[in-house]
Structure 1
Amino acid sequence: MKLPVEDCLDEIVSAIVADTPVVLKAPPGAGKTTGVPPALLNAGVADSGQIILVQPRRLAARTAASRIAKVVGAKLGEEVGYHVRFDRKAAASTKVIAMTTGILLRRLSSDPLLDDVACVILDEFHERSLEMDLALGMIHRIRQSLRPELKLVVMSATLEPAPIVDFLGDALAVTSEGRSYPVDIRYAPSLSRDWIDRQVADALPQMLGSTSGHVLVFLPGVGEIRRTQAAIAERGLDRDAHVLPLYGDLSPKDQDHVLAESAVRKIILATNVAETSITIPGVTGVIDSGQSRVLRFDPAVGMSALRVEPISQASADQRAGRAGRTESGVCLRLWPANTHRSRREVDTPEISRNDFSSAMLTLAAWGERDPAAFDWLTPPRQDSVQSANALLKSIDAIDAAGGLTDVGTSMLSLPLHPRLARFMVAAAHRGVAAKASLAAALLTERDPFRGFGSSEQAKVHTASDVVDRVERMEAFAEGNFQNIDVGSAKQVQRVAKQLLRTVSKISATTTDKKISANESLMQSLLAAYPDRLAKARQRTPDSKSNSKAVYGVMVGGRGVKLDRRSLVKSSELFLCIDVDAKGTEALVRAASAVDEKWLPGRMIREMDEPFYSATSKAVVARRRRYFVDLLLAESPIECRPSEEVANLLYDATHHDVGRLFPDTDQAIQNFIARVRFICQHVTDADLPDLSDQGIQEILYELCQSRTSVAELKRAPWNDHLRGRYSYEQLQQIDRLAPDSLTLPSGNLARIEYADGKPPVLAARIQELFGWPDTPRIAGGRVPVQLHLLGPNRRPQQITDDLANFWKETYAQVRKDLRRRYSKHYWPEDPTTAKATHNGLKPRS
């Protein structure tokens, strides 16, 4: 049967032969993966070098190579081959080779110009993996600089060609029609609250009845696949069909079994590996959970977290298309139709959400020290670049200038994240490569011990969850199959064997017979995870176990909590190896204890640090020892006045300066209020203002020679306040806002000033006899508010119009108080009567 892409092959071949890059948009079913490479092969493109077909996944690379080999009539591994991690089936004479993006990037590190390559085909580019974006940029750079004849094809199922054409500059955009049959897309009536496994099990009977072929179920991850398998078995839906899992870490043999044609009906439970690139013959039904597990990197804490997120509309279309590859089909989406448009149209490029350290290490190996100067289709986030730069420097992969170190060069040979590659290199140098290979495999493959807890033997002597698992894998190799998932354990063994073979070229350089192999392994972990060092800060009873819950703080300040099954709970310092960063307190699923003497001196600093103690209300000093920014230890030292100390004391106290004045000295507050009163009412007074800012300036001066609140309270505030004014200005203050007035009785009465309130003078009525009217201050601008007190010292009247009080109110007050206080003086005419200082009747 003719493939739709065949109508475009002549145009594609002509452009490629003329060294013009091609950007091909071809929907699923067009046949681009199996049609374009053979066409280029037949056109003689491979006469000058290999044709590399790049796929984002191992499964896709293997299946693509197998299908292309059938198309060209070749035996797989000869003219057509593949190369994925730890699995290569190709010969020196291979002309078309399918490989994963990671393999291509490692080849670019060792062969920067791809001298033996004639053409690179980047397939499934719409997935926008970070590695694929990096490969595009590197190949574009090669073509621009030294090899314009290097041919390039970028193939995508959904991505519009225009942005890529613009990026490449001289590319040809080609669009192919797809070949697919109608797919009846159905939606769930409402959003179910059930677990996905139950939703799938509920939907399967209807799907099996609506279609005659195999059913493909898309699930977020392996955990959901296993739970769904169990739910299907509980309902007996597996009696007439094979229920098969399909995910990236599945063994090649099991993957081939899923993809093989079968007369027996299959229910295939898959992650998004089945979304593109591969064709499963006979699928006519799709059940789509609408979710995928996405890795997102948070540069703020330097960690990635897997999150289950809704898929995009483009991904949903890709998944639905799987039901119509061979005949009409049905797709059931487990979400309501009215919510579909709220999903993103396309997926977010990985470069905008993923850890950048692997890409940065690859660029450093390529001689590119500044990622910002590199050609990107979508530039990386600056904070991700900074985080990657910091990590690679901390593990000695790059130097201060961003150049690759010897350690970094050794790391590049390992198909691992830079952390684990650094761990393997350190372990090889310490002579424990075999144990490290098991540890690295355990950290990259599915955990064979999840759900089984730690071993009883380990609880006695092991202070490392990683070492515990390595020892249990060693026991498994000797025949101990207890508390272990055998299938996962065998996969760990396979990967460990390949890693050991790869790292075997690195010889041991430091062997100390006094150090055990396990301790060497733990020290090697430190070389890879220095930024994950944590210190225990709290141990509380754990309601779920008899032990204590351990909380700590990690380099960078992130709070962490040890998994309750961890063996590292008694350690003061530990590495956070396997971390779930989703919560407020990151959950550490695997940790490893650290002896402080292992810490590299270049990352330790000792500082004398003053800080303000709210408890002692003083600036105190500590001698502190840090690993990066993690406090290891501290001891008290004498705190002496300095500019730094002054700033700390000022910062802690300037928000409420009033509490720093001596408790017994009201004159300070009154003086401040008097100056503020004048500045408010006498605009031409020309006095320095005692605003909050002005008083804070005085506080800052006083802080220069002091370290505590107690010392500030003993400070000569009055001298500093009055010292801001000349003798003439002080006289002006006393004249315009006097501290007190002499009453007709001869007594002095203080005037109380307060911000936003009138000046207040309180006195017994008898002391004011003879005053015809209210006294005024501020040059006569403001009347004093009089609080007229009775013999009991309580206000009988509040007024700023004394003349009116004498005329209108005094007679009634006199009448009321005369009966109660007959011994006191109550003249009929207060304006002419003689004032008394004690309120009593004057003696005749």
Structure 2
Amino acid sequence: MNLESLPIDNVLPQLIQQLTVGGAVVLKAEPGAGKTTRIPPAILDAGLAELGNKQPGQIVVLQPRRVAARAAAARMSEERGTALGADVGYRVRHESKASRLTRILVCTEGVFLRRLQDDPLIEDVAVVIFDEFHERSIDGDLALALIAQVRRDVRPDLRVVVMSATLDSAPIASFLNNCPAIESPGKTFPVAIDYLQFPSRAPIEKLASEGVEKIFSATSGDILVFLPGVGEIRETQSALDSFSAHQNVDVMPLYGEMQLQDQLAVLRKGPNRKVVLSTNVAETSLTISGITAVVDSGYARLNKFEPTVGINRLALSRISKAAAVQRAGRAGRTAPGTCLRLWTEREHMALPEFELPEIERVDLSECILQLLAWGENNVDAFPWFEKPPALAIENALQLLERLDAICDGRLTDLGRTMARFPLQPRMARLLIDGAKAGQTERSALCAALLSEKPPFRAIDSATPGSHQTDSDVLEQVRAVENFDAHGIRDSMMGMIVPGAAKQILRTKNQLMRLVEDANLGSDAVTKPLLPGRSGVGAELQLSSDEAVLRSIMTAFPDRICKRRQLKERRAVMVGGKGVSLSEQSNLFDCGLFAAIDLIDLNKSDLVVRRASLVERDWLPRSQIHETVDVVFDTTRQKVVAFKRTRFCDLLLDENITSIPPEVDPGAVLAEAVAANYDVETLVDEQSTAYLNRLICLSNWIPELELPEFGAKPWEAFLPALCSGATSISELKSRSMISAVQSQLSYEQLTSLERDAPEFITIPNGRKVKLQYEVGKTPVLAARIQELFGLRETPRIARSRVAVTMHLLAPNYRVQQVTEDLASFWKNTYPQVRKDLKGRYPKHKWPDDPFQPLEPKAAK
């Protein structure tokens, strides 16, 4: 066969030479350059696919998508003149065209990862080629990291080629031990870009069909339309029926699940002009001959973590600017072309520059499970190409542990079985449990419904609460079963959309084949899969509904909820987050349920749109724990011991019990008082005055080394105050002073009474109480006549502090404030005496204040 000359042909000699010398090469080449179909045969023909023992080895070409894998294998076998499955073959999920003689095997990245599980050293493989690595799928990232480790540790002879259309080659070359990087200049023609004039909210299929009719007369070649998924492809194809008949144009779909012969027919040049309606598989993975115009919807379905369901889903997403450039470039491969973008130039400016790699936007539990199944025990130390966020790894490990896939970071037998399924671990667990209970078909349908968007139109049009159910998910299963068996579209959730329901049924059939391929036997898992029962025979006795309900529960152990009160829609979920059943949920008043579909409306509680019954005796006993917790009960205002039963950290029930002797209730009370009370409100005035004296003394005589006093000084004495107590009322009845004194030495207690006395005796023999306030000097308040005979201001704290004198008139009002009593007698008293003598003539006002008055005789 005479091969068409392609741009990649010019760099093949350089690539072969570099691969021969160094064993690894990074290649950057434009889409359509021919790298996918020319490089593997060139490597084979150069003799680089031989193993160390001179035995023929295999070249494995990894593709992100099934449709690209099949097309690449078919094209290479055609160009080599061999039957597909002989010299060149492919292997994708549920389909294989290969033999033991196959030298070039094209497979998807996920299939290759599972091959690595069975054969970690891939001893029969000589070369691994990563195609379209710029798409940065999580399987591609993991496969590259694993192969790099294999080369470094045990297979230095293993050759690696990483090919990309847009990615920066330098980081990959650095990761592969600074291997050479080659760039193949593309042969492209200019493409005229056109945008919508105004933003449109019309359905994608309407905009796309109108775009095709608009651009049809502007080009003489074929048209490629990029659409998000199969549903939009079918709707657009239907919208173009009359146009295609009138213009004699073939409208052809292109997506991953097509039959190979139908797929190849799209790629070849036909007798009529054609309009190809494609997912993003045609962005870089496939080259379609004759395309001179592109209509771009601007959307794709990307694998993203869906927090509402806790799994990864294909979500409708805006594409990046880089993807838009790649799509437009498909129109300029063979001649000048045109591209109509179904968005405005202003909207284009808001697009992200690049897509985030999958490893940064998806749940990593499936990836981590594959890594553990391969034999890597230290996930944190694993040499990733780009290490995922630490929190994402931590969350993945936590989920795998709750699914019983790992224990203490090691893969369990159940986890090893789950890793055999190319599914997210939640769905793998659901399928395995359902199959073990003899309900493969229903559990597969349940998993399909959880993995896809629900196939119900205007779910709000149904009447929530019209009847109650044991599971919103199981109710959907019943509705789809009814549609499949009898064609009935009406359901309590709303009208079933036939196309979406059929897609779910196709997914169900695929999942059933996975169970069949996995060949689950009674020894596949060593412990009962459905908690509360033991042995496969016991599991088979479960009713169909109960088996599915239990399987749902085991897939969502981190979403088990307990109602706050029966007949109340509010509940608490594992982890402590509050949730509330939405009006869309018809779950009856059960105490426990699994929250399947959660949404965050920026309220205190997450909203549960779909829930499923959980019976308490279904919960795995290994995750149920009983404890005796001694806590402070704010309602009773006392320390109480509760015997509590929990699933993980979710409280199932509690009962009051006696406080264990080894627990100090006083310590619990002290902690609660510090956290929830202003201690001063629990202390009487006498105790407060005592503490104020102590704090003042500490400030005045620091060498006494009294306890440290912070902003809340009573907290330093809380343990002593609360010792032996169990309640706030008991605390209030206690003498706080004795608790403080118990913390002081004899020297400190003696100093307190001597250097910060509670009373001072004045000349008339009366004991006057000093008023202490932290940060100020103490105050002695007495009538002036009582102080006659006191020459100097009293001093305390080893004479370091002078008392502030509040000198009172006979009516006990402050007449004078001084800290220098001698100065007062000498300079101020004469005038004060004159004033007071006139106001209080019956009182004695001697000229000489240094002679004390005779105390009054007691009556």
Report Cα offsets for 1:65-99 as digits up to 9, x if no partner: 44445544556566544433334455565544432
Q: What corresponds to 1:767 in structure 2? A: 786
What is the distance in 1 between the residues matched to 2:783 and 2:234?
89
Q: SS where residue 669 of structure 1 aligns? A: helix
Give the drift of 1:512: 5.4
Deviation at 1:760, TM superposition (A): 1.6
Q: What residue in structure 2 maps to residue 648 of structure 1?
A: 668
8 Å CA contact 2:455–2:496 kept in 1: the answer is yes
Which residue number corresponds to residue 133 of structure 1? 141
Name the structure 2 match of 1:827: 845
- TM-score of the two chains, using structure 1 as the length reference: 0.83
Closer, same or farther in 2 for the Cα pair 1:287/1:644, shift >3 Å? farther
The answer (yes or no) to whether the contact 1:81–1:97 under 8 Å persists in 2 is yes
- The answer to whether the Cα contact below 8 Å between 1:290 and 1:311 also exists between their aligned partners in 2 is yes
Residues 482-519 of structure 1: per-residue CA shift (max 9 Å, x gap): 12121222222222223223323335723457631110
Which of 693, 699, 710 does residue 718 from structure 2 map onto?
699
Would you say 1:473 and 2:500 are equivalent positions? no
Whole-Å separation in 1 of the counterparts to 2:628 and 2:332: 70
Q: Which residue of 1 aligns with 2:372?
A: 364
CA distance in 2, matches of 1:673, 1:607: 43
Question: Which residue among 542, 557, 565 is the counterpart of 1:530?
Answer: 557
Cα deviation for residue 187 of structure 1 reads: 8.3
- Structure 1 stretch displaced more, 91-100 or 748-757: 91-100
Contact 1:745 1:768 in 2 (8 A): yes
Deviation digits for residues 798-828 of structure 1 (CA, Å, limit 9, x no counterpart) = 4334455556666776777777x65763737
Contact 2:23 2:158 in 1 (8 A): no
Q: Which residue of 2 is the match for residue 638 of structure 1?
A: 658
Secondary structure in 1 matching 2:284: coil
Is the CA contact (8 Å cut-off) linking 1:427 and 1:433 kept in structure 2? Answer: yes
Q: Secondary structure at the match of 1:8?
A: helix
1:544-563 alignment to 2 at 5 Å?
Answer: 550-563=569-582
Residues 687 and 139 of structure 1, relative CA distance in 2, 3 Å threshold: closer
| Map of 1:518 onto structure 2 | 545
Shift of 1:611: 1.8
Residue 35 (structure 1) aligned with residue 35 (structure 2): no
What is the rounded CA distance, in whole Å, between the counterparts of 1:65 and 1:147 in structure 2? 26
Count, aligned residues: 821
Alignment of 1:603-752 (within 5 A): 603-639=623-659, 642-643=662-663, 645-654=665-674, 659=679, 663-664=683-684, 666-683=685-702, 686-689=704-707, 691-692=709-710, 696-752=715-771
Task: Extract unaligned runs of 5+ from structure 2.
Answer: 51-55, 490-494, 523-535
What's the offset of the Cα at 1:607?
Answer: 0.4
Of 496, 500, 504, the residue aligned with 1:492 is: 504
Distance 1:660 1:583, change over 3 A: closer
Give the secondary-structure state (helix, strand or coil) at the position aligned to 2:486: coil
* Contact 2:60–2:107 (Cα < 8 Å) also in 1: yes
| Alpha-carbon shift at residue 24 of structure 1 (Å) | 1.0
Give distance in 1, aligned partners of 2:465 and 2:100: 48
- 8 Å Cα contact 2:706-2:748 kept in structure 1: no
With structure 2 as the length reference, what TM-score do the two structures score? 0.81
The one of 51, 59, 68 equivalent to 1:60 is: 68
Pick which of 808-817 and 96-105 moved more. Answer: 808-817
CA displacement 1:257-286 (0-9 Å, x = unmatched):
98777866859585x555431345525345
**Who is 2:131 aligned against?**
123
Give the corresponding residue for 1:295.
304
**1: distance between equivalents of 2:421 and 2:161?**
28
CA contact (8 A) 1:229 1:243 kept: no
CA distance in 2: counterparts of 1:791 and 1:259, whole angstroms: 114
1:147-179 deviation per Cα after TM superposition (whole angstroms, max 9, x unaligned): 444432211122233333333337442211122
* 1:520 CA displacement: 1.1
Distance 2:459 2:677 in 1: 61
Equivalent residue for 2:108? 100
Q: Is the 8 A contact 1:764 1:791 kept in 2?
A: yes
Query: For residues 842 and 93 of structure 2, what CA distance do their matches in structure 1 show?
Result: 108
The Cα of 1:751 is off from its aligned counterpart by: 0.9
Contact 2:689 2:772 survives alignment (8 Å):
yes
Gaps of 5+ in 1: 541-547
CA distance in 1, matches of 2:234, 2:821: 90
- Residue 421 of structure 1: CA displacement? 1.3
C-alpha distance in 2 between matches for 1:440 and 1:84: 21
What's 1:430 paired with? 437
Of 321, 325, 336, 2:333 maps to 325
- Paired residue secondary structure (1:377): coil
SS of 1:388 mapped into structure 2: helix
Deviations 1:98-123 (A, max 9, x none): 32211111222233343554432211
Distance 1:797 1:4, change over 3 A: farther
SS of equivalent to 1:574: strand
Residue identity matched to 1:553: V
CA apart distance, 1:357: 2.1
How big is the shift at 1:56? 1.4
Q: Kindly, what percent of the aligned residue pairs are identical?
A: 38
Contact 1:576 1:590 in 2 (8 A): yes
* Counterparts of residues 408-423 of structure 1 (less than 5 Å): 408-423=415-430
1:463 to 446, 451, 470: 470
1:551 is displaced (CA, Å) by: 3.3
Residue 443 (1) aligns with residue 450 (2)? yes
User: One-letter code of the match for 1:799?
Assistant: T
Q: 1:636, CA displacement in angstroms? A: 1.6
Structure 2 partner of 1:543: none
Please list the CA deviations of residues 352-402 of structure 1 after superposition, one character each: whole Å capped at 9, or x if unmatched. 443222223223332332224544222344443343333333333345461
Encode CA deviations 1:652-679: one digit per residue, 9 max, x unaligned.
2236997368644x33322322232233
Alignment of 1:333-344 (within 5 A): none
Query: Which residue identity does 1:536 align to in structure 2?
Result: R
Deviation track 1:525-558 (CA, whole Å, cap 9, x = no partner) reads: 2333222222223689xxxxxxx7x333322233
CA deviation after TM superposition for structure 1 residue 246, in Å: 7.3
Are residues 1:396 and 2:396 paired? no
- Indicate the residue corresponding to 1:545 in structure 2: none
Give deviations 1:5-33, integer Å, cap 9, x for gaps: 11112222344566822221113332222
* Structure 2 residue 615 is matched with structure 1 residue 600: no
Query: What does 1:197-346 align with in structure 2 at a 5 Å threshold?
Result: 208=215, 212=219, 266=275, 270=279, 272-279=280-287, 282=291, 284-285=293-294, 287=296, 289=298, 295-296=304-305, 314-326=322-334, 327-330=336-339, 346=354
SS state at 2:688 partner: helix
Aligned-partner Cα distance in 1 for 2:197–2:850: 96
Deviations, residues 678-711 of structure 1 (Å, cap 9, x unaligned):
332345x535346249854532234342222333
Distance between the aligned counterparts of 1:805 and 1:219, measured in 2? 99
In 2 relative to 1, CA 714–30 (structure 1 residues): closer, same or farther, beyond 3 Å?
same
Residue 129 of structure 1 aligns with an amino acid whose one-letter code is S
Cα distance change of structure 1 residues 425 and 811 upon mapping to structure 2, 3 Å threshold:
same
- From the superposition, tell whether residues 695 and 582 of structure 1 become closer, same or farther in structure 2 (CA, over 3 Å): closer
User: In structure 1, what is the Cα distance between the partners aligned to 2:257 and 2:158?
Assistant: 33
Is the contact between residue 196 and residue 344 of structure 2 (CA under 8 Å) also seen in structure 1?
A: yes
Equivalent residues of 1:523, 1:598 under 8 A apart: yes
